[in-house]
Amino acid sequence: MADDSAKGGHRISFNAMLGGAAAIATVIAAVVGVLNQFGYIGNHEASRPAEIYAPAPEAALAPLPKLTSLTGAWRDAGLGGCHLITQTGSKLEVINYFPGSDAVMSHGEGTVEGTHILLQLRTMHGDYQVSPDGRILNGTMFRSYGPNPSVWKYIGTSCQKSG
């Protein structure tokens, strides 16, 4: 009986040792993987996938100058269409382009008084407010099927996509 208990003790000890060795091997594999991922070990001269670009936080970017005229191209944040606005005094002319193309969808006119904009287009009309920096028009576009919230963002001088 004394021999049986000694064998059992060695068997438990051997199983514990195997489990411990497996745990240590797992930890070593994880450490090697992390070191490889961060470039401390491994062949990093081989071609690798493109770096991930993360733009600087907006707070770190220099503020854009305030727009003093609404003349320019404005992208509809929802539908994606582009609206080319020409401002002459308080009068606005608007040409709307289909999303993703240079094709004219409609045209119209409007007025601006302070930060308040009223637009009258062929099949709809809009009521907008200009943001403090002049780069966002936030309001409502009234279409035949009802009012829709609308946000237009200034994108530059042209809506044209083709060269």
What are the pLDDT digits (tens) for 119-146? 998 888 999 999 998 999 999 999 889 9
- Confidence at residue 142, expressed as pLDDT on a 0 to 100 scale: 93
Q: Give the CA dihedral 131, 136, 142, 145, nearest 10 degrees.
A: -140
| Domains of the chain, residue spans | 2-54, 72-156
Please state which architecture CATH assigns to domain 72-156.
Beta Barrel (2.40)
pTM for the complete prediction?
Answer: 0.59
Residues ≥6 apart with Cβ < 8 Å to 161? 100, 101, 102
pLDDT, tens digit (0-9, with 9 covering 90-100), for 47-104: 444 455 555 555 555 566 667 789 999 999 988 889 999 999 999 999 988 888 888 8
